[in-house]
């Protein structure tokens, strides 16, 4: 049996990255910029934007990610701050028992 953290690492983090990538690209960011911010390859960003990787239907997860992207655009979040925001989302998912 996998622990909650293992599930988060294998399933939720790609969903968070995918939503961030899709949202930023939709807002006009270059895939290269998104890749650098997320610490992934441009190919990974392409897979996220085409929903081949990290797709979710969770409205709550999308809301949480939109807040992160809004803060990125306002300059309130740096690449280094993303880890903390990912942890925050994972905590909310567990606390609110969000189905992903």
Residue by residue, pLDDT tens for the chain (100 residues) are: 888 778 777 888 999 999 999 999 999 999 999 999 999 999 999 999 999 998 888 899 999 999 999 999 999 988 888 989 998 988 888 888 877 6
Of residues 53, 62, 57, the one with CA closest to residue 20: 62
Q: Give CA–CA dist 78/43, Å, rounded.
A: 22
The domains of the chain are located at 4-95
pTM exceeds 0.85: yes
């Amino acid at each position: 049996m996998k622990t909650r953290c293992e599930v988060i690492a294998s399933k939720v983090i790609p969903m968070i990255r995918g939503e961030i990538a899709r949202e930023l690209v939709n807002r006009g960011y270059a895939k290269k910029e998104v890749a650098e911010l997320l610490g992934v390859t441009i190919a990974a960003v392409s897979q996220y934007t085409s929903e081949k990787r990290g797709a979710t239907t969770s409205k709550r997860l999308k809301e949480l990610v939109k807040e992160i992207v809004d803060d990125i655009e306002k300059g309130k979040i740096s690449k280094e701050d993303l880890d903390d925001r990912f942890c925050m989302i994972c905590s909310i998912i567990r606390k609110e028992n969000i189905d992903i």
